[in-house]
A and B are shown apart, each in its own frame.
Chain A
Amino acid sequence: QKEVEQNSGPLSVPEGAIASLNCTYSDRVSQSFFWYRQYSGKSPELIMSIYSNGDKEDGRFTAQLNKASQYVSLLIRDSQPSDSATYLCAVRGFTGGGNKLTFGTGTQLKVEL
């Protein structure tokens, strides 16, 4: 079982719709959760961080964390073509290499006109 799992996609949504990206993780003691956006040929850009159960909203983005289910998600409201990118879920915990992020393989999002 991979430590951080994401559906590779592509996930296609029409412009203006809500895009829902999901991520599950295997390490129960994970404490910090991040969503990065990576455009093709570019480096990852941090868009959300979440540390406690529940929802965290920032503009059009909402991160949701459920530690009991070991599940973190990212909702993008009013999706725009410029949101088309690969979204990476990253998790950091305390076991083993607790100092470093473990990344999922990413979900490719395509927002269509």
Chain B
Amino acid sequence: GAVVSQHPSWVICKSGTSVKIECRSLDFQATTMFWYRQFPKQSLMLMATSNEGSKATYEQGVEKDKFLINHASLTLSTLTVTSAHPEDSSFYICSARAGAYEQYFGPGTRLTVT
């Protein structure tokens, strides 16, 4: 299967600071990338969908000014959590799709806000 990488795999930051998470498709060009969040023992929650060169489409209830998404190229998308608070602590997972078919997930980034 295709490979999606994420960096960092875990990060600890102080409340009020911003954190950037990178997502890369390593062996394919991703026309669409997705960002998910998952709290312990809960389902995946889609936060936003982004297409290369376009503004991201956010799911209802997700603050676009807090979770900044940039999909600058066909292999790179970034999620910036701005002014992070402890309630933003979660497992953030990106996913990438080439064309209309299969969608692959990155390994995830565990964010802890202290």
Contacts and interface: CB of A to CB of B under 8 A. Distances in A.
Size band of the A side of the interface? Answer: 10 to 19
Interface stretch (A10-18, A42-50, A63-71, A74-82): A42-50
Contacts, number: 38
A44 B100 CA distance: 19
Interface residues of B, number: 18
B106 A43 contact: yes
A103 B103 contact: no
A43 B105 contact: yes
Given A43-B93, A88-B44, A103-B43, 6 more contacts: A34-B102, A36-B105, A42-B108, A45-B105, A90-B103, A103-B44
15 contacts: A34-B102, A43-B91, A43-B105, A44-B93, A46-B1, A46-B103, A46-B105, A49-B101, A88-B44, A90-B103, A99-B49, A100-B34, A101-B103, A103-B43, A103-B44
Interface of B: 1, 32, 34, 43-44, 46, 49, 91, 93, 100-108
